[in-house]
């Protein structure tokens, strides 16, 4: 729950992606209560990818922007 609240309050995702990630995190948690291994394997895996790929993309994009800002310019 703290992870979900951290994502919501950080503001790193746009509203549509935030809803997708939050829904996928809720599905990840709900799947843990289903006693079928296939449900946990397939649905849990899909929910994990849906939840974490947008976060990974934002982290990658922001690190690229930071790297571009830190690149020294050569006076020539």
Own/partner pairs for 24-30, CB < 8 Å, 24+ apart? 24/48, 24/50, 24/51, 25/51
The pTM assigned to this predicted structure is: 0.68
| Alpha-carbon distances of 9 from 28, 46, 59, rounded to whole Å | 20, 24, 16
| pLDDT computed for residue 67 by the predictor | 65
| pLDDT computed for residue 17 by the predictor | 87
| pLDDT computed for residue 32 by the predictor | 85
pLDDT at 76 > cutoff 60 = no
pLDDT one-digit tens code per residue, 2-59? 888 888 888 888 888 888 888 898 888 888 888 888 888 888 889 989 888 988 888 8
Distance CA 22, CA 42 (A): 18
What are the boundaries of each domain within the chain?
2-65
């Amino acid at each position: 729950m703290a992870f979900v609240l951290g994502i919501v309050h950080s503001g790193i995702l746009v509203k549509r992606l935030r809803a997708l990630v939050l829904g996928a995190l809720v599905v990840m948690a709900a799947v843990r209560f289903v006693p079928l291994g296939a449900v946990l394997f397939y649905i849990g895996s899909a929910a994990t990818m849906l939840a974490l790929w947008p976060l990974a993309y934002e982290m990658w994009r922001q690190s690229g922007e930071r790297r571009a800002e830190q690149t020294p310019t050569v006076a020539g």
